[in-house]
Structure 1
Amino acid sequence: MRNLLNFFLKYSSWLVLAFFIVVSCVLLFSRNPYQRHVWLTSAGTLSGAVYDAANNVTGYFNLREINDDLQRRTASLEAEVVELRRRLAVYQQAALRDSLAADPETSRFRFIIASVINNSVSRPFNYITIDKGETDGIRPEMGVMDQNGIVGVVNVVSPHYARVISLLNPNFRLSCKVKGGEVFGSMVWDGKSPGEALLEELPKHTRFRKGDTIVTSGYSAVFPEGIPVGVIMGNARGEDDNFFTLRIRLFTDFNSLSTVKIISNTDIDEIKAVEAESRQSQEQ
């Protein structure tokens, strides 16, 4: 009690001054509308600034919680994307199987579905790697295609993987013809564009028009007859006396290869045996 009394005695002048200031302000603002308006406006501005600063501080401390929540949501979305990609791959493979089953011309051919795990399109000699190998029935010299057209031919096989010579490789040649015709030429990539190739050695008497479809000729044991390859864009270079050279726009989009099918000819061993016997008889 003594300390309290000493406090009032020590600061009595300041307390009296504060009392009169408060009384003066009350009288001033209660009796003068203009001063009251100014006071309320200033007080509102000050309190708004205080509240805004407090809100910023609170928001800053809530950032960690918000960031954690965003990370959880991002992880959940990434998991959904992975699952959707897996389902899409399953649906693509099912669609390929259905399309093959509906084609009676492919009865002597068996098709193996594979995914592309490596692919080049801009090199002078391009190759593709797939995730199926010898244990899956893949052998060298098997044809490879996708849902749009020809992709290439298998040339190297390991137990679980295989390398494919891409159509975008000058070492790969494909026997083709104009759809509906019988004469054939040889398709080869000239290295200019991953979406185009040349059809060479097409006999001069062949009838065609710009926009006609080019398909496989069937004159090999690798690809069935009639697989779409591309469309005629026009003459690629000057005509010689006996043959056309045409520029072809390819159906296969090599920049977005994902799922392919490997073509296994069930009669390949018999065909090779007959051809080998024929060569031996000619050599004798």
Structure 2
Amino acid sequence: MQNLLEFLQKYHHWFLFVLLEIVSLVLLFRYNSYQGSAWLSSANAVAGHVNSERARVESFFSLTKVNKDLTLRNFYLERQVTQLRKLYAELTGDTTAAERQELQMLSHYELIPAKVVTNELNRPDNLMTIDRGAADGVEVGMGVACGQGIVGITYLVSDHYSVLIPVLNTTSRISCAIRGRGYFGVLRWDGKDPNVAYLEDIPRHARFNRGDKVETNGYSSIFPPGVIVGKVSTVYNSADGLSYRVKVELFTDFGCIRDVVVISDKTIGERTRLLQAARDSLKLNVKE
């Protein structure tokens, strides 16, 4: 014990120096947004490589269940598409119109396959990392989905990795609608149950049922319309009583998510330029 005390007394100035350095770095990166963002991007690149190797091992042992789920889901979707095409052909007499419309809509989007290398579930500000980045065509603000439904939106992008803000993040805001009803609202997570989110600001005159599907409405450039989200579980009044707050049972199982796709909209550049031109024109008219 005496030797330990002598050691600490002899080198106490070095311990104090290290402690002050740690405190200064914490203050620098925590309270300065630029340095914090730079640190997060650099740390993400290093940690992403390590986590990618771990994810490959975990993915190998879960392949049996994943392949089984994908096979069953593909079978279900193929049957659904076939039935819808037959119904459309019976009603219109045109057997190719539905297929042409589907191909035309999908041609606007490019799907970039990726794998999840880190995932959080127990924080209010959960983040997720995938093994695709700018070198693969990923940009900030792109939507990410999986075979079960939506996953989140890209937030930070390095050359080979990207950090997502998933649905299970209290800052996430995604515009969604109730399928076949036309009513839309904002999907938010309350930071509690990872299987549930809430669709808010649904108008009071809306009519829908428990079990109705919730999907993206395509009003933003992040997700195309029709990407599945979940189903209506329970309906509550909003805090001010002016709208409904709909409890949505999420279809995406964030606890075992592995394979995802990043959705790139090829027309976003043109639409952004057109919108900006309209805003500039309005500003000029107001000044005149």
Q: Same fold, TM exceeding 0.5?
A: yes
Aligned length: 202
Distance in 2 of aligned mates of 1:83 and 1:129: 15
For 1:116, give the aligned amino acid: V
Instruction: Give the corresponding residue for 1:182.
Output: 182
In structure 2, list runs of 5 or more residues that go unmatched: 1-56, 79-98
Structure 1 position 111 matched with structure 2 position 111 = yes
Instruction: Give the corresponding residue for 2:252.
Output: 252
Distance in 2 of aligned mates of 1:173 and 1:110: 23
User: Structure 1-normalised TM-score?
Assistant: 0.64
CA shift, 1:278, in A, is 1.9
Instruction: Give the corresponding residue for 2:137.
Output: 137
Q: Relative to 1, partners in 2 of residues 1:255 and 1:156: Cα closer, same or farther, differing over 3 Å? A: same
CA shift, 1:88, in A, is 6.1
Give the SS at the match of 1:279: helix
Distance in 2 of aligned mates of 1:266 and 1:176: 21
Distance in 2 of aligned mates of 1:201 and 1:83: 39
Spell out the pairing of 1:1-284 with structure 2 (5 A cutoff): 85=61, 104=103, 105-238=105-238, 240-284=240-284
CA shift, 1:282, in A, is 2.5
Distance in 1 of aligned mates of 2:151 and 2:58: 27
Give the SS at the match of 1:255: coil
Q: Deviations over 1:160-216 (max 9, x none)?
A: 000011111121111111101222111111111111011001111111111111111
For 1:205, give the aligned amino acid: H
For 2:129, give the aligned amino acid: T
CA shift, 1:84, in A, is 5.5
Q: Relative to 1, partners in 2 of residues 1:86 and 1:149: Cα closer, same or farther, differing over 3 Å? A: closer
Give the SS at the match of 2:262: strand
CA shift, 1:87, in A, is 6.8
Q: Deviations over 1:206-228 (max 9, x none)?
A: 11111111111110111010111
Distance in 2 of aligned mates of 1:156 and 1:145: 17
Distance in 2 of aligned mates of 1:82 and 1:164: 20
Q: What's the Cα RMSD here?
A: 3.0
CA contact (8 A) 2:59 2:258 kept: no
Give the SS at the match of 1:244: strand
Distance in 1 of aligned mates of 2:116 and 2:225: 24
Q: Relative to 1, partners in 2 of residues 1:132 and 1:239: Cα closer, same or farther, differing over 3 Å? A: same
Distance in 1 of aligned mates of 2:118 and 2:146: 15
Distance in 2 of aligned mates of 1:82 and 1:141: 28
Stretch of structure 1 that moved more, 255-264 or 273-282: 273-282
Give the SS at the match of 1:254: coil
Distance in 2 of aligned mates of 1:196 and 1:240: 22
Distance in 2 of aligned mates of 1:202 and 1:86: 39
Q: Deviations over 1:226-247 (max 9, x none)?
A: 1110111112445644311111
Give the SS at the match of 1:223: coil
Q: Relative to 1, partners in 2 of residues 1:83 and 1:224: Cα closer, same or farther, differing over 3 Å? A: closer
CA shift, 1:155, in A, is 1.1
CA contact (8 A) 2:221 2:265 kept: yes
For 2:169, give the aligned amino acid: N
Distance in 1 of aligned mates of 2:272 and 2:117: 31
CA contact (8 A) 1:188 1:197 kept: yes
Q: What is the identity percentage for the equivalent residue pairs of Structure 1 and Structure 2?
A: 36
Distance in 1 of aligned mates of 2:145 and 2:278: 30
CA contact (8 A) 2:178 2:212 kept: yes
For 1:107, give the aligned amino acid: S
CA contact (8 A) 1:198 1:236 kept: no
